[in-house]
């Protein structure tokens, strides 16, 4: 079940291991360059200091830990997506990618010895999970006019660089493994070349693609929850429950001006129907 074992007869394991290390270094350097270019760390720090001054109360250490755990659960379950199909697709992509990358390292660094059957099986299942979740997103969810409404053939170089290179990598990794296993060597080498080219593109273009967003999203989600809990509300006004109360009229004089002394109930708004977008 380890396709890299047969490959090691042609390419030395040390070369494959060097390639994995190089990809890790490319991800780290690309992320650091992205942080410096976009000044993301500076943005989150300065925004946090600003919101701290607007906070109505100081959160305890226990509350912050609780919020951090809630954020972790949201990230691990893709809780930011209201559309259940989008959430399932994202979960398949996320966990499939993690399993595929980790097992790739285990299979390659386990050479020239024999890897376990389970590791090889998880490598294939991880790649398959990425393919199912990714193609589901690309051909079903992404083309839905209620979400993005992009035709499947409408590819944008930088915006779609991450998902396209990810899908090519896992698709041709599976194709290479199957073709190599049934003895179609020429086709297997073509699939292997595309697999490596896509992997190099994925990990080598972190600075230009959406790859680094997986590191920013948890920080942004945590800061948003903190702002809601301490009352700073991310500089946004609180939404009052009773629009006719004297306090609301005094604080928001435009409400009685445009909606009268007893504003009517405006309904659920965007939540009036089950989410079918993102």
What pLDDT does 247 receive?
75
Contacts of 1 by beta carbon, 8 Å cutoff, 6+ apart: 115, 117, 119, 120, 121, 123, 124
What pLDDT does 217 receive?
79
Angstrom distance (rounded) from CA 241 to CA 250: 15
Query: Which residues does the chain have with pLDDT short of 50?
Result: 145
Angstrom distance (rounded) from CA 174 to CA 195: 9
* Residue-wise pLDDT tens digits, 256-278: 777 777 776 666 666 666 655 55
What pLDDT does 251 receive?
73
What pLDDT does 150 receive?
63
What pLDDT does 146 receive?
53
Cα 113 to its chain centre, rounded Å, is 34
* Domain ranges within the chain, ordered by starting residue: 3-229, 238-272
Decide: 108 and 16 in contact? Cβ < 8 Å.
yes
* Residue-wise pLDDT tens digits, 182-221: 999 999 999 999 999 999 999 998 888 777 777 777 888 8
Residue 83 DSSP SS3: coil
**pTM (2 decimals)?**
0.80
Structure tokens at 115: 């890897």
Angstrom distance (rounded) from CA 77 to CA 88: 9
Decide: 91 and 126 in contact? Cβ < 8 Å.
no
Decide: 239 and 263 in contact? Cβ < 8 Å.
no
- Whether the upstream peptide bond of residue 136 has omega within 30° of 0, thus cis, is no
């Amino acid at each position: 079940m380890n396709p890299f074992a047969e490959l090691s007869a042609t390419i030395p394991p040390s070369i494959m291991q060097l390639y994995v290390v190089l990809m890790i270094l490319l991800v780290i350097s690309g992320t650091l360059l992205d942080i410096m270019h976009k000044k993301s760390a500076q943005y989150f720090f300065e925004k946090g200091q600003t919101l701290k001054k607007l906070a109505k109360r100081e959160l305890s250490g226990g509350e912050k830990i609780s919020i951090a755990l809630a954020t972790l659960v949201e990230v691990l379950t893709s809780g930011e997506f209201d559309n259940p199909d989008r959430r399932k697709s994202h979960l398949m992509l996320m966990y499939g990618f993690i399993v595929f990358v980790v097992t790739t390292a285990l299979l390659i660094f386990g050479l020239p010895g024999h890897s376990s059957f389970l590791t090889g099986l998880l490598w294939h299942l991880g790649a398959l999970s990425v393919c199912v979740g990714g193609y589901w997103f690309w051909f079903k969810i992404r083309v839905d006019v209620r979400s993005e409404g992009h035709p499947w053939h409408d590819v944008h170089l930088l915006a779609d660089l991450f998902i396209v290179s990810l899908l090519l990598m896992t698709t041709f990794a599976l194709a290479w493994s199957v073709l190599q296993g049934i003895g179609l060597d020429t086709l297997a080498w073509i699939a292997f070349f595309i697999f490596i080219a896509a992997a190099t593109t994925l990990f080598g273009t972190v600075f230009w693609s959406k790859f680094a967003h997986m590191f920013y999203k948890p920080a942004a989600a945590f800061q948003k929850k903190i702002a809601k809990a301490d009352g700073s509300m991310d500089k946004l006004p609180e939404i009052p429950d009773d629009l006719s109360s004297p306090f609301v009229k005094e604080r928001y004089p435009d409400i009685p001006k445009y909606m009268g002394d007893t504003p009517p109930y405006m309904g659920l708004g965007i939540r009036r129907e089950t989410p079918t977008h993102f």
